[in-house]
Amino acid sequence: MQRRFNPLEADAKWQRIWDEKQSFRADDNSVKPRSYVLEMFPYPSGRIHIGHVRNYTMGDVLARFRRMTGHEVLHPMGWDAFGMPAENAAMEKKVHPGTWTRSNIANMKAQLKRLGFALDWSRELATCEPDYYGQEQALFLDLYENGLVYRKESAVNWDPVDMTVLANEQVIDGKGWRSGAPVEKRKLNQWFLKITDFADDLLEGLSGLDQWPDKVKLMQENWIGKSVGLQFRFEIDNPPIELEDANPSGDTNLMKPRVIEVFSTRPDTIFGASFVAIAADHEFAQLLAADDDALDAFCQECRQSGTAAADIETQEKKGYDTGVSVIHPFTGAKLPLFVANFVLMDYGTGAVMAVPAHDQRDLDFARKYMLATPRVVSPDGEDAPIGDEAYTGPGTLINSDFINGMDVEAAKAAVIARAEAEGWGQGTTVWRLRDWGVSRQRYWGTPIPFIHCDDCGVVPVPKDQLPVVLPEDVSFDIPGNPLERHPTWKHVDCPKCGKAARRETDTLDTFVDSSWYFIRFASQPDDKPFDKETTEKWLPIGQYIGGIEHAILHLLYARFWTRALNHCGLIDVKEPFAGLFTQGMVTHETYKSPDGKWLAPEEVEKQGENYVVADTGEPVTLGRVEKMSKSKKNVVDPDDIIDQYGADAVRWFMLSDSPPERDLPWTASGIEGSWRFTNRLWRLFSDASENSEGEDKTLLRKLHQTIDGVAKDIEALSFNKAVAKIYELTNAIEKAKPSASRSEAVRTLALLVAPMVPHLAEEAWETMGTEGLVADAAWPAVDPALLVDDEVTIACQVMGKLRDTITVAKGLPKDELEKLALAAPNVARTIDGATPKKVIVVPDRLVNIVI
RNA sequence: GCGGACGUGGCGAAACCGGUAGACGCAGCGGACUUAAAAUCCGCUUCCCGUUUGGGAGUGCGGGUUCGAGUCCCGCCGUCCGCACCA
| Nearest nucleotide from residue A171 CA, by C1' atom | B85
Nucleotide nearest to A683 in CA–C1' terms: B40
Residue A546 has pLDDT above 70, yes or no: yes
DSSP helix/strand/coil, A296:
helix
Q: Which nucleotide, over all strands, has the C1' atom closest to the CA of A3?
A: B39
d(CA A754, CA A792): 32
Residue A160 pLDDT: 79
Q: What is the mean pLDDT of residues A13-27?
A: 96
CA A585 to C1' B61, in angstroms, rounded, equals 29
Instruction: Considering only CA atoms, name the residue closest to the C1' of nucleotide B14.
Output: A721
**Which nucleotide is at minimal CA–C1' distance from A44?**
B87
CA distance A597 to A591: 8
**Could you tell me how far CA A404 lies from the centroid of its own chain?**
45
CA–C1' A710–B45 (A)? 28
Calculate the angstrom distance between C1' of B68 and CA of A837.
Answer: 15
Residue nearest to nucleotide B15 (CA to C1'): A721
What nucleotides of chain B have any atom within 7 angstroms of a protein Cβ?
1-5, 11-15, 19-21, 23-27, 39-42, 54-56, 67-69, 81-87
At A675 the pLDDT is 93
Name the nucleotide with the smallest C1'–CA separation from A127.
B87
SS3 A35: strand
Dihedral class, residue A185 (left if φ above 0, else alpha if ψ from -120 to 50, else beta)? beta
The whole-number Å distance from A622's CA to B61's C1' is 28
- Indicate the range of A302-311, A364-373, A529-538, A559-568 predicted with least confidence: A302-311
Q: Which nucleotide is nearest to A314 (CA to C1')?
A: B1
- A846 CA – B72 C1', rounded, Å: 21
| Closest nucleotide to the alpha carbon of A222, via C1' | B3
* Closest nucleotide to the alpha carbon of A718, via C1': B14
CA A737 to C1' B32 (Å) is: 21
* Cβ partners under 8 Å of residue A475, min gap 6: A482
* Residue nearest the C1' of B20 (CA based): A795
Protein residue closest via CA to C1' of B21 = A802
Instruction: Specify whether the CB–CB gap between A449 and A492 falls below 8 A.
Output: no
CA/C1' separation A598–B23 (Å): 38
Q: How far is the CA of A498 from the C1' of B66 (A)?
A: 84
Q: Regarding beta strands A396-397 and A377-378, do their DSSP bridges make them parallel or antiparallel, or are they unpaired?
A: antiparallel
Report d(CA A674, CA A463) in Å as an integer.
Answer: 54
Q: What is the mean pLDDT of residues A675-687?
A: 91
Q: How far apart are CA A534 and CA A520, in angstroms?
A: 10
Calculate the angstrom distance between C1' of B47 and CA of A801. 18
**Is the separation of the CB atoms in A313 and A363 below 8 Å?**
no
Tell me the average pLDDT across A83-90: 88
| Sheet strand arrangement including A446-447 | A439-440, A507-508, A446-447
Give the range with max mean pLDDT: A151-160, A593-602, A795-804. Answer: A795-804
DSSP letters for A365-398: HHHHTT------EESSS--PPP-SS---S--EE-
Pick the more confident residue, A399 or A391: A399
Q: How many angstroms is C1' of B26 away from CA of A670? A: 6
Instruction: Kindly indicate the confidence band of residue A531, based on its pLDDT and cuts at 50, 70 and 90.
Output: very high
User: From the alpha carbon of A439, which nucleotide's C1' atom is closest?
Assistant: B85
- Asked whether the predicted pLDDT for residue A528 surpasses 60, the reply is yes
B55 C1': nearest CA residue: A803
pLDDT at position A99 is: 95
Containing A759, the helix (H) or strand (E) segment is helix A758-767
* Sign of the C-alpha dihedral computed for residues A613, A618, A619 and A620 taken in this order: negative
Q: Which region among A199-203, A295-299, A670-674, A707-711 has the lowest average model confidence (pLDDT)?
A: A295-299
CA distance A612 to A620: 5
Closest CA to A847 of A700, A130, A826, A686: A826
Compute the distance between CA of residue A358 and CA of residue A338 in angstroms, rounded to an integer: 18
The closest of A588, A560, A584, A595 to A574, measured between CA atoms, is A560
Report DSSP state, residue A600: -
Which of A234, A335, A319, A251 lies closest to A285 in space, CA to CA? Answer: A319
Residue A254's pLDDT is: 45
Is the distance from CB of A48 to CB of A112 less than 8 angstroms?
yes
A387 CA vs B18 C1’ separation (Å) = 42
Minimum-distance residue to B68 (CA–C1'): A800
Distance A646 CA to B36 C1' (A): 30
Question: Nearest nucleotide (C1') to the CA of residue A155?
Answer: B85
Report the C-alpha gap between A641 and A94 in whole angstroms. 31
Given this model, what pLDDT does residue A1 score? 43
Our measurement of CA A215 to C1' B73, in angstroms, reads: 22
| Whole-number pLDDT of residue A575 | 93
How much is the average pLDDT of A708-724? Answer: 94
Entry field: residues in chain A:
851
Q: Rounded mean pLDDT of chain A? A: 88
Nucleotide nearest residue A847, measured CA to C1': B19
Q: What is the pLDDT of residues A250-261, one digit of tens each?
A: 554 445 567 888
What confidence score (pLDDT) does residue A256 get?
A: 56
Residue A15 clears pLDDT 90, i.e. is over it: yes
A737, pLDDT greater than 50: yes
Is the pLDDT assigned to residue A832 strictly greater than 90?
no
* pLDDT score recorded for residue A308: 66
Complete DSSP assignment for A608-644? TTEEEETTT--B-EEEEEEE--GGGT----HHHHHHH
Crossing angle between the packed helical segments A758-767 and A668-687, to the nearest 10 degrees:
20
Q: Is the pLDDT of residue A360 over 60?
A: yes
Would you place residue A307 in the very low, low, confident or very high pLDDT band (cuts 50, 70, 90)?
A: low
pLDDT for A485 beyond 60: yes
Of the two residues A790 and A578, the one the predictor is more confident about is: A578
Closest protein residue to B41 using CA and C1' atoms?
A734
Closest nt to residue A606, judged CA to C1': B27
Mean pLDDT of A134-153: 95
Cα–Cα distances in angstroms (integers) from residue A170 to residues A373, A463, A807, A847, in the given order: 39, 36, 66, 64
User: Exposure string (b/e) for A491-530, b if CB count within 10 Å is 16 or more?
Assistant: ebebbeeeeebebbbbbbbbbbbbbbbbbbbbbbeeeebb
Kindly give, in sequence order, each residue whose CB lies less than 8 Å from that of residue A535, ignoring residues fewer than 6 positions away. A519, A522, A523, A571
- Which nucleotide's C1' is closest to A40 (Cα)? B87
CA A722 → C1' B60, Å? Answer: 29
Distance A418 CA to B87 C1' (A): 49
Closest nucleotide to A506: CA versus each C1' = B85
Q: How far is CA A380 from the centre of its chain?
A: 42
How distant is C1' of B75 from CA of A387, in Å?
Answer: 21
| Distance, CA of A536 to CA of A523 (rounded, Å) | 9
Does A178 have pLDDT greater than 80? no
Integer distance in angstroms from CA A763 to C1' B38? 25
CA of A655 vs C1' of B63, distance in Å? 40
Q: Which of A93-102, A216-225, A497-506 is least confident? A: A216-225
